[in-house]
Amino acid sequence: MLLKTLREEVLEANLELVRRGLVLYTFGNASGIDRREGLVAIKPSGVPYEELTAEQIVISDLTGKIVDGTLRPSSDLATHLELYKHFSSIGGVAHTHSEFATAWAQAETPIPCFGTTHADSFHGPIPVTERLSPPEIAGDYEQETGAAICRTFAKLDPNAIPAVLVAGHAPFCWGANAAEAAHHAVILEYVARLACHTLSINTESRPLARELHDKHFLRKHGRNAYYGQVKTQ
Amino acid sequence: MLLKTLREEVLEANLELVRRGLVLYTFGNASGIDRREGLVAIKPSGVPYEELTAEQIVISDLTGKIVDGTLRPSSDLATHLELYKHFSSIGGVAHTHSEFATAWAQAETPIPCFGTTHADSFHGPIPVTERLSPPEIAGDYEQETGAAICRTFAKLDPNAIPAVLVAGHAPFCWGANAAEAAHHAVILEYVARLACHTLSINTESRPLARELHDKHFLRKHGRNAYYGQVKTQ
Amino acid sequence: MLLKTLREEVLEANLELVRRGLVLYTFGNASGIDRREGLVAIKPSGVPYEELTAEQIVISDLTGKIVDGTLRPSSDLATHLELYKHFSSIGGVAHTHSEFATAWAQAETPIPCFGTTHADSFHGPIPVTERLSPPEIAGDYEQETGAAICRTFAKLDPNAIPAVLVAGHAPFCWGANAAEAAHHAVILEYVARLACHTLSINTESRPLARELHDKHFLRKHGRNAYYGQVKTQ
Amino acid sequence: MLLKTLREEVLEANLELVRRGLVLYTFGNASGIDRREGLVAIKPSGVPYEELTAEQIVISDLTGKIVDGTLRPSSDLATHLELYKHFSSIGGVAHTHSEFATAWAQAETPIPCFGTTHADSFHGPIPVTERLSPPEIAGDYEQETGAAICRTFAKLDPNAIPAVLVAGHAPFCWGANAAEAAHHAVILEYVARLACHTLSINTESRPLARELHDKHFLRKHGRNAYYGQVKTQ
DSSP one-letter string for chain C: --HHHHHHHHHHHHHHHHHTT--STT-EEEEEEETTTTEEEEPBTT--GGG--GGGSEEEETTS-EEE-SSPBPTTHHHHHHHHHH-TT--EEEEE--HHHHHHHHTT--B---SHHHHTT-SSPBPBPPPPPHHHHHSSHHHHHHHHHHHHTTTS-TTTS-EEE-TTS-EEEEESSHHHHHHHHHHHHHHHHHHHHHHHH-TTPPPPPHHHHHHHHHHHSSTT--SSPPP--
**DSSP bridge partners of C172:** C95, C164
Contact between B105 and B166 under an 8 Å Cβ cutoff? The reply is: yes
Query: In angstroms, what CA-CA distances link D178 with B25, D16, D32?
Result: 39, 10, 5
* Closest chain A residue to the Cα of B135, Cα to Cα: A211
Tell the burial category of C146 from Cβ atoms under 10 Å away from its Cβ (0-12, 13-18, 19+): buried
pLDDT, greater one: B10 or C233: B10
CB atoms within 10 A of CB D145: 24
Q: Output the CA torsion sign for D125, D130, D136, D141.
A: positive
- Three-state secondary-structure class, residue B74: coil
User: With contacts defined as CB-CB under 8 Å, which chain D residues touch C231?
Assistant: none
User: Would you call B103 and A212 a contact, using CB atoms and an 8 Å cutoff?
Assistant: no
Which of D61, D68, D120, D141 is the catalytic position? D120
pLDDT, greater one: C118 or A230: C118
Tell me: pLDDT of B232 over 70. no
pLDDT, greater one: A139 or A227: A139
**Given pLDDT bands bounded at 50, 70 and 90, which one contains residue C233?**
very low
DSSP one-letter string for C10-21: HHHHHHHHHHTT
Contact between D175 and D162 under an 8 Å Cβ cutoff? The reply is: yes
Distance CA A104, CA D63 (A): 47
What pLDDT, on the 0 to 100 scale, is given for residue B233?
40
DSSP one-letter string for D118-170: HHTT-SS-B-BPPPPPHHHHHSSHHHHHHHHHHHHTTTS-TTTS-EEE-TTS-
User: Would you call B198 and C103 a contact, using CB atoms and an 8 Å cutoff?
Assistant: yes
Q: What is the mean pLDDT of chain B?
A: 95
* Closest chain A residue to the Cα of B97, Cα to Cα: A117
User: Residue D73 contacts by C-beta under 8 Å, 6 or more apart in sequence?
Assistant: D42, D43, D44, D45, D58, D60, D66
Contact between C113 and C207 under an 8 Å Cβ cutoff? The reply is: yes
Distance CA D13, CA C173 (A): 33
**C116-175 pLDDT, tens per residue?**
999 999 999 999 999 999 999 999 999 999 999 999 999 999 999 999 999 999 999 999
Of A27, A46, A200, the CB nearest to D117: A27
Q: Is C25 left (phi over 0), alpha (psi -120 to 50) or beta?
A: left
Contact between A216 and A207 under an 8 Å Cβ cutoff? The reply is: no
User: With contacts defined as CB-CB under 8 Å, which chain A residues touch B97?
Assistant: 117, 194
- A62/B contact by beta carbon, under 8 A: no
Tell me: pLDDT of B219 over 90. no
Tell me: pLDDT of A225 over 90. no
For the question of residue D84 being annotated catalytic, the response is: no
**B39-87 pLDDT, tens per residue?**
999 999 989 999 999 999 999 999 999 999 999 999 999 999 999 999 9
- C100/B contact by beta carbon, under 8 A: yes
Give me the total of CB pairs closer than 8 Å, taking one residue from chain A and one from chain B: 88
**Given pLDDT bands bounded at 50, 70 and 90, which one contains residue B227?**
confident
**C58-68 pLDDT, tens per residue?**
999 999 999 99
User: With contacts defined as CB-CB under 8 Å, which chain C residues touch B205?
Assistant: 106-108
**A66-123 pLDDT, tens per residue?**
999 999 999 999 999 999 999 999 999 999 999 999 999 999 999 999 999 999 999 9
Nearest CA-CA partner of B136 in B122, B127, B148: B148
Q: What is the mean pLDDT of chain A?
A: 95
Tell me: pLDDT of C74 over 70. yes
What pLDDT, on the 0 to 100 scale, is given for residue A231?
58
Q: Amino acid identity of A59? A: I
DSSP class of residue D172?
Answer: E
Among B116, B193, B204, the strongest candidate for a mutation testing the C interface, having the largest count of C CBs within 10 A, is B116
Half-sphere exposure of C122 (CA within 13 A, CB side): 31
Contact between D45 and D32 under an 8 Å Cβ cutoff? The reply is: no
Distance CA D194, CA D213 (A): 16
- B190/C contact by beta carbon, under 8 A: yes
* Closest chain C residue to the Cα of D110, Cα to Cα: C201
Of A120, A202, A212, the CB nearest to B132: A212
Among D100, D183, D197, the strongest candidate for a mutation testing the A interface, having the largest count of A CBs within 10 A, is D197
User: With contacts defined as CB-CB under 8 Å, which chain C residues touch D71?
Assistant: 229
Tell me: pLDDT of A232 over 80. no
**Helix-, strand-, coil-residue percentages of chain D, each rounded to 5:** 40, 15, 45
Phi and psi angles of residue A106, each rounded to the nearest 5 degrees, phi first: -70, -35
pLDDT, greater one: C230 or A194: A194
- Residue ranges in chain D modelled with pLDDT below 50: 232-233
CB atoms within 10 A of CB D129: 22
User: Would you call C114 and D106 a contact, using CB atoms and an 8 Å cutoff?
Assistant: yes
For the question of residue A120 being annotated catalytic, the response is: yes
User: Would you call A200 and B170 a contact, using CB atoms and an 8 Å cutoff?
Assistant: no
User: With contacts defined as CB-CB under 8 Å, which chain A residues touch D179?
Assistant: none
Half-sphere exposure of D6 (CA within 13 A, CB side): 24
Distance CA D72, CA A128 (A): 53
- D103/C contact by beta carbon, under 8 A: yes
Work out whether strand D163-165 and strand D171-175 pair parallel, antiparallel, or are unpaired: antiparallel
Phi and psi angles of residue D222, each rounded to the nearest 5 degrees, phi first: 90, -170
Nearest CA-CA partner of D198 in D207, D189, D188: D207
Maximum CA extent, chain B = 53
What pLDDT, on the 0 to 100 scale, is given for residue B231?
58
Segment A15-21 shows an average pLDDT of 97
User: Residue D154 contacts by C-beta under 8 Å, 6 or more apart in sequence?
Assistant: none
**Distance from the C213 Cα atom to the nearest Cα atom in chain D, whole angstroms:** 10
**Given pLDDT bands bounded at 50, 70 and 90, which one contains residue C231?**
low
Q: What angle do CA C166, C171, C176 make, to 5 degrees?
A: 120
Of A46, A107, A199, the CB nearest to D228: A46
Tell me: pLDDT of A24 over 80. yes
Contact between B196 and B103 under an 8 Å Cβ cutoff? The reply is: yes
* Closest chain A residue to the Cα of D202, Cα to Cα: A107
Tell me: pLDDT of B230 over 80. no
What pLDDT, on the 0 to 100 scale, is given for residue D161?
98
- D139/C contact by beta carbon, under 8 A: no
**A148-192 pLDDT, tens per residue?**
999 999 999 999 999 999 999 999 999 999 999 999 999 999 999
Q: Which of residues 193-222 of D touch A (CB under 8 A)?
A: 193-195, 197-202, 205-206, 208-209, 211-212, 215, 219
User: Would you call C169 and B116 a contact, using CB atoms and an 8 Å cutoff?
Assistant: yes
DSSP one-letter string for B216-228: HHHHHSSTT--SS
